[in-house]
């Protein structure tokens, strides 16, 4: 049974939830990545209470997903930029959005991710690093990795 936190779980998905699983966190990262949000006021447009937004931004900065930078023209105002760790969440957000489009959007997708070069739809797929083949669940098996220290959760 999972406790109040996942950080002791021998599971990378559980540990990832410890970092980005709080309500609003992924939406903040989504807006930083895809909507150009960089300032506190930009993120407030999500409808987040000020105290909650402050906590989430601080947590995302502490986790290394966002970086706080002072504005050159307003040193008292912080801006936020996405780090490489945050950029690596882009496919996660796209995939989660596409799942929501399929299973939780009765009127159809509210937004679409499109390739800037040709306008084609972006499709997140699971591919094999060795052969490049697109895989489905039946072709995937789980093996212990170097970080497995106890029994899997």
Q: Which of 92, 42, 44, 40 is CA-nearest to residue 68?
A: 40
pLDDT at 152: 52
Per CATH, is 23-139 categorized as 1.10.10.10? yes
- Give Cβ neighbours of residue 88 (< 8 Å, ≥ 6 apart): none
pLDDT at 4: 67
pLDDT at 1: 44
pTM: predicted TM-score of the whole model, two decimal places: 0.85
* Rg, C-alpha atoms of the chain: 18
Return the domain boundaries, the chain. 23-139
Average pLDDT of adjacent 10-residue blocks, the chain of 153 residues? 65 91 96 97 98 98 96 80 97 94 94 94 89 89 85 54
Q: Which of 8, 4, 2 is CA-nearest to residue 149?
A: 8
pLDDT at 11: 87
For the chain, report the end-to-end CA distance as a whole number of angstroms: 9
C-alpha dist (Å) from residue 101 to 13, 21, 105, 135: 22, 20, 5, 21
């Amino acid at each position: 049974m999972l406790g109040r936190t996942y950080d002791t779980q021998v599971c990378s998905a559980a540990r990832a939830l410890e970092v980005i699983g709080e309500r609003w966190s992924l939406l903040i990262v989504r807006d930083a990545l895809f909507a150009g949000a960089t300032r506190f006021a930009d993120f407030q447009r999500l409808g987040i209470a000020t105290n909650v937004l402050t906590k989430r931004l601080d947590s995302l900065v502490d986790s290394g997903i966002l970086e706080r930078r002072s504005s050159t023209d307003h040193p008292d105002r912080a801006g936020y930029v996405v780090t490489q760790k945050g950029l690596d969440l882009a496919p996660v957000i796209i995939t989660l959005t596409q799942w929501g489009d399929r299973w939780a959007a009765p009127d159809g997708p509210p937004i679409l991710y499109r390739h800037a070069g040709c306008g084609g739809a972006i499709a997140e797929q699971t591919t094999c690093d060795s052969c490049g083949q697109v895989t489905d669940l039946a072709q995937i098996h789980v093996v212990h990795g170097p970080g497995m220290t106890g029994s899997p959760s």
